[in-house]
A and B are shown apart, each in its own frame.
Chain A
Amino acid sequence: MQTKRIENRTALSPLNERVFKWTSLWNEINRNKHYYILMAPFMLVFFLFTVIPVAASMGISFTYFNVLEPPRFIGWQNYSRLFLNDDIFMIALRNTFLFAIITGPVSYIACFMFAWIINELPPKIRAFMTLVFYAPSISGNVFFIWQVIFSGDRYGLLNSLLIRLRIILEPIQWLKDEQYILAVIIIVQLWMSLGTSFLAFIAGLQTLDRSLIEAGAVDGIKNRWQELWYIVLPSMRPQLLFGAVMQITASLAVADVSIALAGFPSVNYAGHTIVTHLMDFGTIRFEMGYASAIATVLFAIMMGTNLVTQKLLRKIGG
């Protein structure tokens, strides 16, 4: 396809200069054709299941589409309904931001702080502690065990502990009471959040250039906190940027934990998020146009938050 387009252009263009530009580009592509061939399998699948769907989702969001009939263009109606007429979406939006504002920064700082402390331990203990902190994030759906811990009857581990300590007299319905659902989900989400970025931070700290720290000591760095701010953080900037992307994206995509613990839909939508709202319309009600509008809003929020954070983090350590 690429070939055809370029040949057409060269044939049609009356300007020699333009012809030259296209032929030299073509030569360049031809010379590197092995690289394109190597990239082709990945890129084919990547475009088919990631890039095209993002564009398609934006397109579908301007239509009424129920899968059975062909999509019908309805302009901005899905969006106006979403923001003006959908109370549940407002709850989802509020919950999502609440989750993100708490789990995002807390998990990010926890990832770094624990990596920083663990890094000072002797190698064997360091490897063990890394495993302890990282294991929950790769244990798959073992978070179901929290259901037993937060179980609403006396058999629930937390309830029985609190009753025995006489802090409460009656078991609390942790997963059914609106008051607690958000907090429980946040705790479990934090439990699982020391993932890829945590490893990236540990790795970054281990490969830190020791001579920088020695130079810093000569230049009058007085304590560990100054060392952290003026030397460690700036030289770990690439890992910090990478970690931020991982944590932000994860903290805005809370859904599995909410569904597993609080149910779907949760009591009075207390654990409802943008993603569960999207699932509701996409996989239960089959309002694909509307669900795509939700997906597009989610996409915009994730990209916006990530890009702004990247800007801010580049300023770390001056």
Chain B
Amino acid sequence: MTEKKLNRSFAVTFLLFILLGLFGAFMALPLIYTINHAFKPLDEIFLFPPRFFVRNPTMNNFYDLVNLMANSWVPFSRYISNTVIIAVIGTVGHVLFASAAAYPLAKYKFPGSKAIFNIVVLSLMFSPHVTAIPNYMIMSRVGWIDNHASLIIPSWAYPLGLFLMKQFMEQIPSALLEAAKIDGASEYRIYWQIVMPNVKPAWLTLIILRFPALWGSDGGSFIYSENLKTLNYALGQIIQGGIARAGVGAAVGLILMIVPITLFVISQSSVIQTMATSGIKD
């Protein structure tokens, strides 16, 4: 970079980087602690005074987890498969639904298009708690209580995904779409064969925003049957066991956090690319 850097006094720059280091440590330490805790043998978990880092790492907590779960009448693999099913179907459906709806909103004007987009923006301004009670009633009316559908289907229409996808799609040159139309492609084909391959970074962004939420879902008030419960619910049950289970709890926590974090490591540059278009325009 040849541009001349404007001066910010050395002291201030130094201070800012100290701040960055301190807060970086504040952000990272609990996660590092979780990882260390998961590999601690029992005597280190009960050690007084407690240690931050593990000394003799062991896989015992993971074995204990397997044993603990083998004795419960729902096998642990069931919690994992439930969580995978919810997270994968919920996320894939979301990317498909949101992108299909975003394409017309991003590239065309038609009656109602503006109003619909405004409603989507407004819906970013409140949290899902607001709609929890009528949602429960609607769920029970359509018979999705105690069914994975109650977690999967609402996630298909998560408004933040539509918003980000629409903002990103606006960059696709209209000439590209016009050319396809002249060649006789239908709107559906344009969506699937031209728009979708061009917005891959946005897919990843929707995935990184939706997947961790579903992956970390505890089933809320919708799921009652033990064999339909999720990993995060199992974690909650284990933590109830108190300090004796702290190691096993950390092991489950590690499994829970490693998946979204890996996903983000892989997709970071695409996500940043999408986020550049995320703004709310005047």
A→B interface (CB under 8 Å): 25, 28-29, 32, 34-36, 38-39, 41-46, 48-54, 56-57, 60, 110, 113-114, 117-118, 127, 129-136, 138-149, 151, 154-157, 160, 163-164, 191, 194, 196, 199-200, 202-204, 206-207, 210, 213-214, 217, 221-225, 227, 236-242, 245-246, 248-250, 252-253, 255, 275, 278-279, 282-283, 288, 291-292, 295-296, 298-299, 302-303, 306-307, 310, 314
Is B17 an interface residue when CB atoms closer than 8 A count as contact? yes
Beta-carbon contact of A54 and B130 below 8 Å: yes
Residues of B within 8 A of A138 (CB): 208, 212, 260-261, 264
Beta-carbon contact of B123 and A141 below 8 Å: no
Give the total of B residues in contact with A, Cβ under 8 Å. Answer: 100
Is B274 an interface residue when CB atoms closer than 8 A count as contact? yes
Beta-carbon contact of B156 and A41 below 8 Å: yes
Is B191 an interface residue when CB atoms closer than 8 A count as contact? yes
Beta-carbon contact of B103 and A295 below 8 Å: no
Q: 8 Å CB contacts to A: which residues of B30-69?
A: 30-31, 33-34, 37, 46, 48-50, 52
Beta-carbon contact of B279 and A302 below 8 Å: no
Asked, given contacts A57-B131, A199-B271, A202-B272, whether A141 binds B138 with beta carbons under 8 Å apart, the answer is no
Name the residue among B105, B131, B215, B269 with the largest chain A CB count within 10 angstroms: B131
Beta-carbon contact of A42 and B160 below 8 Å: no
Chain B residue with Cβ nearest A147: B239
Q: Which residue in A35, A44, A54 is a CB contact (below 8 Å) of B131?
A: A54
Residues of B within 8 A of A148 (CB): 33, 37, 246
Beta-carbon contact of A224 and B135 below 8 Å: no
Beta-carbon contact of A130 and B268 below 8 Å: yes
Beta-carbon contact of B6 and A227 below 8 Å: yes
Asked, given contacts A146-B30, A217-B6, whether A29 binds B111 with beta carbons under 8 Å apart, the answer is yes
The secondary-structure label for the interface of chain B is helix
Given contacts A53-B130, A138-B260, A245-B125, 16 further A-B contacts (CB under 8 A): A46-B159, A51-B119, A54-B126, A129-B20, A141-B256, A144-B239, A145-B31, A157-B33, A200-B279, A204-B276, A217-B4, A241-B280, A245-B124, A246-B124, A291-B133, A303-B126
Is B187 an interface residue when CB atoms closer than 8 A count as contact? yes
Cβ distance A313 to chain B, nearest Cβ, rounded Å: 10
What are 7 A-B contacts with C-beta separation under 8 Å?
A: A164-B49, A203-B275, A239-B275, A239-B279, A275-B129, A298-B127, A306-B125
Cβ distance B2 to chain A, nearest Cβ, rounded Å: 10
Q: How far is the CA of A295 from the CA of B134 in the complex (A)?
A: 10
Q: Which residue in B113, B122, B221, B264 is a CB contact (below 8 Å) of A134?
A: B264
Beta-carbon contact of A28 and B110 below 8 Å: yes
Cβ distance B87 to chain A, nearest Cβ, rounded Å: 11
